Amino acid sequence: MTGYVLTFRENLDNGSDAVEMVRGVFAATGARLDEGFWAPGATWWYAWNELEIQLPTVCATAADLDAGRLFNPRWVVVRVFAPPAELRWERQGRGRVVCLLLEDNARRRLPPTLVAGAVHKETYLATPGRRLWSGRRLDLPGGSRRGRVEFPRPLDYGVEDHDYSKPLAARVYLYQDEDGLVQLVRYAEPELLSERVAVRPLGHRDRTLTAEGG
């Protein structure tokens, strides 16, 4: 499977134009595309800046997918992801970079004009993988939730999540270069795993991780 990265650039000196590029790419891969990538209930987003963070959460309705809401200039980084693709919007210097990450089937559905507008195009070997998400059982006054006691705060990832003994992961695609090195990780969707997950942390002996961190 091939992973594709299309890069588009914006210039902050253009004022309102700083958000027009990402909103245009978002629209071209959504409402303007048959069977668009960003479906309500099957699209997640997260963002951060120097002072605040928006944890990954589901866009449950069409209103949640409003481009003006998602791509607010106050964010330094915004990531929107769904099973077909991931859209990244990041501040770099005085400009912003828009990156669209997707695999073969989704790439074939892109409008040719959108592909032609990319200033940079890269291809990688894409292999399926998982990334474990943070959180274990956290007993709060309102009931048990998945969360972190260090903060403390619940971590609501927009997943039907009532069995805190199960690990919560993200289904991802690992974008590898010709030497087999992972260059990018493309997020697809959260996944509540039904069993313990065997992993091999770098520099450590084999062990099995659970939602309790054991």
Q: Say what the pLDDT of residue 203 is.
A: 41
What is the C-alpha separation between 98 and 117, in angstroms, rounded?
A: 11
- Whether residue 160 is found in the same domain as residue 177: yes
Q: Say what the pLDDT of residue 168 is.
A: 80
Side by side, which strands form the sheet with 2-11? 53-58, 44-48, 77-81, 85-92, 95-103, 2-11, 120-132, 168-176, 182-192
Q: Say what the pLDDT of residue 153 is.
A: 61
- Whether residue 79 is found in the same domain as residue 135: no
Tracing tokens 């309500």 back to the chain, one arrives at 40
- Whether residue 109 is found in the same domain as residue 135: no
What is the C-alpha separation between 37 and 57, in angstroms, rounded?
A: 17
Q: Say what the pLDDT of residue 208 is.
A: 42
Q: Say what the pLDDT of residue 171 is.
A: 92
Q: Amino acid letter at 163?
A: D
Give the residue from 111, 65, 62, 107 showing the smallest Cα distance to 84.
107
What is the C-alpha separation between 44 and 136, in angstroms, rounded?
A: 21
What is the C-alpha separation between 2 and 172, in angstroms, rounded?
A: 14
Residues of the chain with pLDDT under 70: 10-18, 31-34, 134-165, 195-214
Residue 33: which domain range? 2-123
Number of domains comprising the chain: 2
* Gap between the terminal Cα atoms of the chain: 34
- Whether residue 100 is found in the same domain as residue 7: yes
In a domain, 134, yes or no: yes
In a domain, 214, yes or no: no
- Whether residue 50 is found in the same domain as residue 95: yes
- Whether residue 19 is found in the same domain as residue 115: yes
